[in-house]
Structure 1
């Protein structure tokens, strides 16, 4: 696992955008995440598209998850969110932006269909991830199988509380989602996880320096052959090996630097 510590959340977003831009130039298949952390990265990619000519025209994209029961037109569906925050502002074809179908009555079949669509596309080249305060990635809550496929999950009460800020009240937050599983996520060729703020510091420590465990789903990154974690100083607060991570980053060969 490669861990990059940057001074501020803005620096994290800039670094992540550079990495994603490299893949966009190759017409890669991008795995996109919603939530508050990736927004600044998307804004930087939009700027690069408008001011530097970065094109996404040859790219495809797959979202991590979708709420069960929310129509696609709902303002807080992830189908709408990713378009509002990112893809409507770049030159990717809307038909090439895919998300799980949270309205299908058979969620097991919906999960299998989504995994098959990813595989038929050739797989995800780079998957953008955030991490929850309880260590979840996607909506793989603590206790999720490390080999799980896309499937129905019940949200942890902490996740409902965290997501209530996007709704009128916590009562309006759906309790179930269709999410890529840890097994599906792990098949992406490159995992890129972002975390900012002191509130994420315990989760960052657990995923990077704790045991690989279903108790911290994000710890699955430790087993991946190409995983990059970018955090700001606040989120790096609890890392015991932070000085080594800085040293290793500063002394990379030039051809390895993002």
Structure 2
């Protein structure tokens, strides 16, 4: 299919074939690293980076000398509460398995909240201070949950500005339950960044694909701005690119 581009509420949209999502995200990342090799790169977990070949494309391009992460810093915005980084279902383990261990040019330590910290409030403060020391994120990759969550910022009447402990929506617990031996093992909370870190990211690339995402894409980006749909707050961000496929773009109205 021929890719299409448009703008909705000040946000840039690109509609590409699902098979081209990985390549397009890699193009945007390559441009970021050309402009600023020492970029702070915000990561995401979930199904999208693997299903659409995003991390695989980064690994391939790095092996061929097209991407160089030697001066970049990686940071993840969230982690399960109650499991340590060595747990096979931790987000740290996910990143190691699917990206970090494959990179030859990665030199700097990566950063992720410690979900097994003895004092979670202290850990939130530590991670928030780290974000400030890094001067927040230069380029943030995001997915979009079916309930409109971004990172693990879940729908709520209000959303904290700084890193906090979030209760995970039951729907998202169910979507993650396949990663654990029993649904009861799925953590009920996460440590996640707050709205200040989202809004201070200098560039955000959000990926949403599949017909099951069409309704929430339209709700989040054509509907009202509300904390009940956290992704809708991205309408207030000055530099967001949303990558969709034909299925997820069905209701956004870009022709």
Write out aligned runs for 1:8-157 (5 A).
Answer: 9-25=18-34, 26-27=36-37, 28-39=39-50, 40-90=53-103, 91-93=105-107, 95-143=108-156, 145-146=158-159, 148-157=161-170
Distance 2:114 2:84 in 1: 9
Shift of 1:200: 1.1
Distance 1:145 1:120 in 2: 26
Structure 1: runs of 5 or more not aligned? 244-258
Q: Does 1:209 align with 2:222?
A: yes
| 1:256 alignment counterpart | none
RMSD: 1.4
Q: Does 1:159 align with 2:196?
A: no
Describe the SS at the equivalent of 1:52: coil
Distance 1:130 1:29 in 2: 18
Distance 2:149 2:230 in 1: 5
Distance 1:54 1:184 in 2: 26
Describe the SS at the equivalent of 2:234: helix
Distance 1:80 1:49, change over 3 A: same
| 2:4 alignment counterpart | none
Distance 1:177 1:147, change over 3 A: closer
Where is the helix percentage greater, Structure 1 or Structure 2? 1
Shift of 1:92: 1.1
| 2:3 alignment counterpart | none
Shift of 1:144: 5.8
Structure 2: runs of 5 or more not aligned? 1-10
How many residues are treated as equivalent by the alignment? 240
| TM-score normalized with structure 2 length | 0.90
Shift of 1:221: 0.9
Distance 2:157 2:196 in 1: 10
Describe the SS at the equivalent of 1:128: strand
State whether residues 84 and 114 of structure 2, in contact with CA within 8 Å, keep that contact through their aligned partners in structure 1. Answer: no
| TM-score normalized with structure 1 length | 0.89
| 2:181 alignment counterpart | 168
Distance 2:112 2:157 in 1: 21
Q: Which moved more, 1:223-232 or 1:98-107?
A: 98-107
Describe the SS at the equivalent of 2:64: helix
